[in-house]
Structure 1
């Protein structure tokens, strides 16, 4: 379309057809900025598009310039209201300017629509005619936090422009979003928009700190100066991370090559507009033609976010003006009820603010422009595309390779040892009762402090496992553990290494690595010999099943011998009771004596020989096991539970300087006067032996060491109380903490931690007599081969005897049949059929 025709249409809309138009919209624009140039073109296009939607239905547009000066903004607003008689005012600038015009518009009862980055929550209540026509920044800040969380960065520095709209309208959202993901704000740097001379000073200060993740929330003019200066100071190199927000990211396309080259590897977040939408494509094509014609000095003609927002806002007001309104309040209401499909999606106001944007585009500056990495959707996450087939992921890594500052393929870890920092100062406790964990000794000859112990060795192994060099110096601390932990909070120590328990209240000031010992608090008491009834100890060598099997196999073997020897020995042909007595007597005399009677049959001799061998093994094993049981002490704790200690008003002990005292008082309800402290392992043992205390409470890893040394005198009793184990201490939000924790886990999973722990307790380990329990009793499983041998021998002898002696075999069968029939007959022996009895 010819631009001359555009100009004619614009003149008609502004004055020539005053009888047709419904009203005039005023706008305060900064023509000298890229923002203002884009917004001017976009607003004019909106006026024309609405005019052609409905022939003869349009509205006028009158624009004043402010040059971003508050005084000029107020003058421009009064001119629009009093001279131009506008029905609404559009402010495409900062909140500082919007707040000045909002008061004027409220008095004149003219709607004021602001597309500033943010509008405070209280503003729309104070000025009812003020509307926020740009989406709030809350969702955008969550997108930035999701990027930080994706790469596991734990500290960030926020750099923002020191103006009210950024300071109070955006930064609180960003701080909340960062803290929601568990990261910490390392520093907040406010840059003055009027004084760029301080950039070098601020950047030099940031360069000397550990944090290397920077969130930049600056306007276009200040941001360009900032990145040029950062490039000059070598801060766009490896290990640095730069993330920019929408106010700057949306205009990166307008930057020249020299500025783009100074911000290589930067990640940007900007509002998303559906570029495949026909309405957007028409706007995009027309905008490029018109913008290039009106601004030939600009190299890039792409529309930014502010241009599209200005287009939608002007169109919103025009559509509301097309309906007849009786007064400004009704126009405000109609704008509030507006709902149509704009360039960025549905345009709708909620509580005086346009509905928030749900989708943001993630870009990566590289070369002469930028790559569109993907998108972030509120409540869904990251995706490569925005359509029904999109696959969402919580990590930005799903978007593919990112070009980082300095060009490395590996992801920056987000921090680096400060260039002007000394080695880390590590605090080490000197009052540890267990020198095996940490021992601090001063060599009087060399005046050098030596640090030894399990905790020190483990820390050295952990530092060696870090993927970078970490210099440190160990420093002794002579005080209790709470005081030592507080030194980290006060920044007198950079960390603490030792037997420091992980306790909830200490998290108020510091953070801990993953615990490197088992957790728990245990009670240790003296042992005493158990005074239980020992009258039945003689049956303890064998289990019940073993006794039953021995008896059964003895009777069975004796029966076989009796049956075979019966015809050779007259005494075995006596009455039934006498014969049974002989069988039983033979069974048990054979078991406990190797002297058997004279046997006539080879079958009975073979049976008895095998059984005598088995009996020999059983009797010798029984005697040995019984002797062991009678000589082993059976021990039990002198105190079985905490309640008996409290009820008896007993004294208890704990390690001086630890958290245990408060736990005993606040959780286990001991009187503080009944608690004593001790400095060494020997003092614990002496106090328990002399009955000065009835029990001592130690953390589980310390209890293991104590019992390794005094395993014959003391024992744990009662439950294990759940408390944290030991860990290394670091300041809250320390960028070192996740790396040290990961290295500590690597040491643990490699088996090196267990090796160090075993070496620590090896010299203290002692052996004690085993207590009598079911594990010391012998069961049939220990002798099944012997029982099978003797049982098989006896069975074979019995079968051979029966087969060789047919007459006896027939007699046995007849007797068994008679016994069975008598058992099941309904009458007694007198009435049993005589013929049947005689026949059998």
Structure 2
């Protein structure tokens, strides 16, 4: 069946253009996003098709006489019934052919060589290895641990170093200073003397060492990651500089967008491309010139993202303009265009289009480890926080047992109630102990 077959015979002659990953060759077979898309549509609408390559290698634009070239031209002349490619839906093309609902949305951006990019600086970048929730958890752990060490040092009788003066070294300020020293891997003496204080101290040191190891590991991964941003993030910055040359595909929809735009920035970009003759004949040539350096290739984001995924030395701008869609073209009055539009919508709603895009746009430029580093979340260190909580609880319990043991011994010697002696000890440690100690010291000085 030749390409002039009528649609009532349920055989469509389709045309394509070589562009990765839309249509490529694997041996003698064709493969790619558009090939899979065409197969899915044909399966849903139950028709057969033949395919051939566009003769002039162009997508579709009009010459000076108003005649269509490329895939659009072959569809208009009846040489093909369907043009399946990354064919941008435009008002001019819609006047010459029937175009389906877009099967992919994209916009215009530009790519640069990574050597021309610079990391986006941030004054608080040292906080990025941990998430906000993680920092809040660390702050709470710091406050609770400092308070626990202070309480243990007050409760435990082993921490009152000089029984004669009852001078206590672990004040609330020193407790927080002590655990701060652990975070910097430096000791801040004096150290706890009792077993309860040493337990809390040891658990906090383990917590601090593991936490620092995770921080520096994630920070190093972020420094080594490929998450760089271009030094020029938008078209206004690109238009204002004259150091880097830039261009797009000659005669394509992106070229026509800048040519017909009334925006001063976009007009300046078009005038630069015309003055410098910096446009290229194909997307592949644009990618090649960009890799060679000192050139920015302007194109549609879908194609640019593929280049970034395939060539690790390229990066894309963060700004996208002139959002548009890719559609399938057919002759005016084509009877199956309505059905093709419905099939595309069904594929979109079922997630099939998203699956095809993830399949053919898979990146080969992921950093070591297989995925980009992210801020560390608290649930990843849940066990570490649990260990700290258990250590704090154990330390407090041991301090209470130490004080209870001393109170029991004193109650036995003084023939008093153990509870009354225990309450008196707690009152002295958290209330009048310091005052009594000062009075006793003063009386001994007078004597």
Instruction: For residue 697 of structure 1, report the CA deviation from its aligned partner.
Output: 2.1
Match of 2:41 in 1: 462
Q: Per the alignment, do residues 696 and 717 of structure 1 end up closer, same or farther by CA in structure 2, a change over 3 Å counting?
A: farther
Unaligned runs of 5+ in 1: 1-208, 211-415, 444-448, 820-840
Match of 2:280 in 1: 678
Match of 2:253 in 1: 659
1:435 and 2:20 equivalent?
Answer: yes
Select the residue among 722, 732, 739 that pairs with 2:332.
732
Match of 2:298 in 1: 697
Instruction: For residue 722 of structure 1, report the CA deviation from its aligned partner.
Output: 1.3
Q: 1:637-652 residue pairs with structure 2 within 5 A?
A: 637-649=230-242, 651-652=245-246
Match of 1:713 in 2: 314
For residues 578 and 604 of structure 1, the distance between their equivalents in structure 2, rounded to whole angstroms, comes to: 10
Match of 2:92 in 1: 505
Instruction: For residue 737 of structure 1, report the CA deviation from its aligned partner.
Output: 0.7
Q: 1:817-836 residue pairs with structure 2 within 5 A?
A: none
RMSD: 4.2
For residues 76 and 226 of structure 2, the distance between their equivalents in structure 1, rounded to whole angstroms, comes to: 52
Match of 2:107 in 1: 520
Q: Per the alignment, do residues 808 and 767 of structure 1 end up closer, same or farther by CA in structure 2, a change over 3 Å counting?
A: same
**Larger RCO (CA within 8 A; separation ≥ 6):** 2
Spell out, residue by residue over 1:121-179, the C-alpha distance to the aligned partner (whole angstroms, 9 max, x if none). xxxxxxxxxxxxxxxxxxxxxxxxxxxxxxxxxxxxxxxxxxxxxxxxxxxxxxxxxxx
SS in 2 for 1:636: coil
1:562 and 2:153 equivalent?
Answer: yes
Contact 1:428–1:477 (CA under 8 A) maintained in structure 2: no
For residues 767 and 759 of structure 1, the distance between their equivalents in structure 2, rounded to whole angstroms, comes to: 15
Match of 1:833 in 2: none
1:453 and 2:55 equivalent?
Answer: no
Q: Per the alignment, do residues 569 and 712 of structure 1 end up closer, same or farther by CA in structure 2, a change over 3 Å counting?
A: farther
For residues 30 and 225 of structure 2, the distance between their equivalents in structure 1, rounded to whole angstroms, comes to: 43
SS in 2 for 1:518: strand
1:813 and 2:423 equivalent?
Answer: no
Q: Per the alignment, do residues 635 and 577 of structure 1 end up closer, same or farther by CA in structure 2, a change over 3 Å counting?
A: same
Q: Per the alignment, do residues 491 and 579 of structure 1 end up closer, same or farther by CA in structure 2, a change over 3 Å counting?
A: closer
SS in 2 for 1:493: coil
Q: Per the alignment, do residues 589 and 782 of structure 1 end up closer, same or farther by CA in structure 2, a change over 3 Å counting?
A: same
Q: Per the alignment, do residues 747 and 812 of structure 1 end up closer, same or farther by CA in structure 2, a change over 3 Å counting?
A: closer
Q: Per the alignment, do residues 779 and 750 of structure 1 end up closer, same or farther by CA in structure 2, a change over 3 Å counting?
A: closer
For residues 598 and 423 of structure 1, the distance between their equivalents in structure 2, rounded to whole angstroms, comes to: 87
Q: Per the alignment, do residues 780 and 595 of structure 1 end up closer, same or farther by CA in structure 2, a change over 3 Å counting?
A: farther
> Greater helix percent: which structure?
2
SS in 2 for 1:520: strand
Select the residue among 54, 73, 87 that pairs with 1:476.
54
For residues 387 and 97 of structure 2, the distance between their equivalents in structure 1, rounded to whole angstroms, comes to: 67
Q: 1:221-260 residue pairs with structure 2 within 5 A?
A: none
Q: 1:550-629 residue pairs with structure 2 within 5 A?
A: 550-563=141-154, 564-566=156-158, 569-570=161-162, 579=171, 583-584=175-176, 586-590=178-182, 592=185, 601-629=194-222
> Greater strand percent: which structure?
1
SS in 2 for 1:768: coil
For residues 223 and 111 of structure 2, the distance between their equivalents in structure 1, rounded to whole angstroms, comes to: 27
Contact 2:45–2:343 (CA under 8 A) maintained in structure 1: yes
1:537 and 2:130 equivalent?
Answer: no
Contact 1:546–1:780 (CA under 8 A) maintained in structure 2: no
Match of 1:324 in 2: none
Q: Per the alignment, do residues 736 and 428 of structure 1 end up closer, same or farther by CA in structure 2, a change over 3 Å counting?
A: same
Spell out, residue by residue over 1:610-637, the C-alpha distance to the aligned partner (whole angstroms, 9 max, x if none). 4444344334434434544555576221
For residues 428 and 774 of structure 1, the distance between their equivalents in structure 2, rounded to whole angstroms, comes to: 39
Instruction: For residue 708 of structure 1, report the CA deviation from its aligned partner.
Output: 1.0
Which is greater in Rg? Answer: 1
Q: Per the alignment, do residues 617 and 809 of structure 1 end up closer, same or farther by CA in structure 2, a change over 3 Å counting?
A: farther
Match of 1:793 in 2: 394
Contact 2:159–2:192 (CA under 8 A) maintained in structure 1: no
For residues 774 and 454 of structure 1, the distance between their equivalents in structure 2, rounded to whole angstroms, comes to: 29
TM-score with structure 1 length normalisation? 0.40
Instruction: For residue 718 of structure 1, report the CA deviation from its aligned partner.
Output: 1.5
SS in 1 for 2:85: coil
Instruction: For residue 552 of structure 1, report the CA deviation from its aligned partner.
Output: 1.7
SS in 2 for 1:717: coil
Contact 1:565–1:600 (CA under 8 A) maintained in structure 2: no
Contact 2:112–2:316 (CA under 8 A) maintained in structure 1: yes
Residues matched between the structures, number:
388
SS in 1 for 2:258: helix
Contact 1:524–1:717 (CA under 8 A) maintained in structure 2: no
Q: Per the alignment, do residues 739 and 624 of structure 1 end up closer, same or farther by CA in structure 2, a change over 3 Å counting?
A: closer
Spell out, residue by residue over 1:623-657, the C-alpha distance to the aligned partner (whole angstroms, 9 max, x if none). 43454455557622121111122222563222345
Instruction: For residue 509 of structure 1, report the CA deviation from its aligned partner.
Output: 1.4
TM-score with structure 2 length normalisation? 0.70
Contact 2:83–2:329 (CA under 8 A) maintained in structure 1: yes
